Amino acid sequence: MKGNRKRRILAAVAAVAGVASLAACSGSAPAAQETLSTKPVTLNITYWGSDARVQNTDKIIAAFEKKYPNITVKGQFKDWAGYWDSLATSTAANDAPDVIQMDELYLSSYAGRGALLDLGTEKSFLSTKDYTKEVLAAGQIDGTQYALPATYGAYSIIVNTDILAKYNIALPDDKTWTWDDLATISEQVTKASGGEVAGFQGWGFDAGGPNIWARQHGGSLYDAKGDVAIKADVLASYWQYILDLTDNGATAPASTIIERQGAGLTGSGLATNKVAFAPFWATQLTSLTAASGQHLAILQIPGESKATDPGLYYKPGMYWTVSARSKHPAEAAAFADFISNSEEAGKINGTERGIPANSAVRTAITPSLSATDKAAVDYLDNIKVGAAPRVTPAGASSIETVLARYTQQVLFKQATPAQAAAAFIKELQGEIDAAK
């Protein structure tokens, strides 16, 4: 089913590429608007999320329409499961919404084939002045700003400090700790608890892991052209580390790791107080704390002090993009600007979509945030990050499904780390090549 969905998405954006090419051959592009239209304009926007997001977005739309009385905005909400099929269908029919909430996994598929507007063409209506270059780069393909990051986060290790206190284990110094230190302290937790609690949750199920590992080893997951760039021996060492953690008792048994992985965030080992340390995006601290009912804290990932390059990077939680086929690109850009850059929208939305990527909006809402959201903001403000990694290339949107499959094979010893690394690279590159 996921493979069929990916093929539909690629077919849709390929169809748009053909339309865009014909349009480009028909003559010069129209001149950019200098002012917004004063005539009646209707914009369609599409997004996914919770009921709270629907309510917040409706309020933001109302505030935008009050500021621009001639512009009517129609929100199209869908759940994640149906969102991408719907967007692929409307894009193929040249009827895509004007403003599109976009995910990092699909940005290249749409931007690279002509479905998204170069936001630089509407800079009069969409400001990027309150974004760091590292955050903005995460919305660029070959230097073109196709997407404005709405929110952002960074990888981390989240720790249950109540568990450490219970077993008299000191909190590690996350400015200097190594991956070996994480393994050692995780084994201590498992041993001290008599196996009731595992030290580490387990790893190897999201793209952040190999991204971090490759960067700390002086490489990258993808190269600038969008091909798989992580070296087989580096990826093998990543899986060997994961396997050693399980074999040495730093984690729960492989079957338990897989079972919890399928249970989502609220069923994870950290959320159910069955592990002390777990890899998560820092912005998930609030949800994890609510689920666990205990004291959790954010730690920097191990290995940064001795890494060849910073492993940490800023990752957008989601983006705002504008359809290349929009009849009202300036007004669409103005809406993307309002929902991302205005304090009014920021205060309505809070952190429902994540920590705002706009620094001015983030500063404005921070005093009203919960303690855990403030901790996430503080973490993001104080870590050292490297350049943004290359956006997931077209064809590689299934990376986490592929990654999880090979991690499971390694944990159950159906494949060695070296075998998994070679097969993963070959399979993922094949998917990328097929999308070209």
Average pLDDT of span 261-274: 96
What percent of the chain clears pLDDT 90, i.e. is strictly above it? 90
The CA distance from 59 to 53, in Å, is 10
Determine the longest span between alpha carbons in the chain, in angstroms.
Answer: 73
Query: If residue 74 lies in a helix (H) or strand (E), which one and from where to where?
Result: strand 71-78
The CA distance from 58 to 49, in Å, is 13
Class at the top of the CATH hierarchy for domain 2-152+316-377: alpha beta
Average pLDDT of span 245-272: 96
Strand partners, 159: 277, 297
Q: Fold identical between 2-152+316-377 and 155-312+395-435?
A: yes
Q: Report which residue type is found at 241.
A: Y
Strand partners, 100: 46, 321
Two tokens at 78? 């869908």
Q: Report which residue type is found at 280.
A: F
Two tokens at 239? 């899986």
Cβ count within 10 A of residue 56? 19
Of the candidates 54, 47, 16, which has an alpha carbon nearest to the alpha carbon of residue 348? 54
- Options 3.50.50.60, 3.40.1000.10, 1.20.272.10, 3.40.190.10; CATH of 155-312+395-435: 3.40.190.10
Question: What is the reported pLDDT for 331?
Answer: 98
pLDDT tens by residue, 90-122: 999 999 999 999 999 999 999 988 999 999 999
Of the candidates 97, 129, 159, 103, which has an alpha carbon nearest to the alpha carbon of residue 297? 159
Question: What is the reported pLDDT for 308?
Answer: 85
Question: What is the reported pLDDT for 148?
Answer: 98
Of the candidates 403, 400, 328, 366, which has an alpha carbon nearest to the alpha carbon of residue 125? 328
| Contact between 361 and 346 (Cβ < 8 Å) | yes
Cβ count within 10 A of residue 35? 8
Per-residue pLDDT at 13 exceeds 80? no
Per-residue pLDDT at 8 exceeds 90? no
Average pLDDT of span 246-256: 97
Per-residue pLDDT at 398 exceeds 80? yes
DSSP labels, 276-315:
EEEEEEGGGHHHHHHHH-S-EEEEPPTTGGG-SS-----E
Per-residue pLDDT at 23 exceeds 80? no
- Confidence tier at 9 by pLDDT (50, 70, 90): low
Secondary structure (3-state) at 367: helix
pLDDT tens by residue, 178-207: 999 999 999 999 999 999 999 999 999 999
Give Cβ neighbours of residue 153 (< 8 Å, ≥ 6 apart).
281, 282, 283, 284, 314, 315, 317, 354, 355, 376, 380
- Confidence tier at 276 by pLDDT (50, 70, 90): very high
Give residue limits of the domains in the chain. 2-152+316-377, 155-312+395-435
pLDDT tens by residue, 280-313: 999 999 999 999 999 999 999 999 999 988 999 9
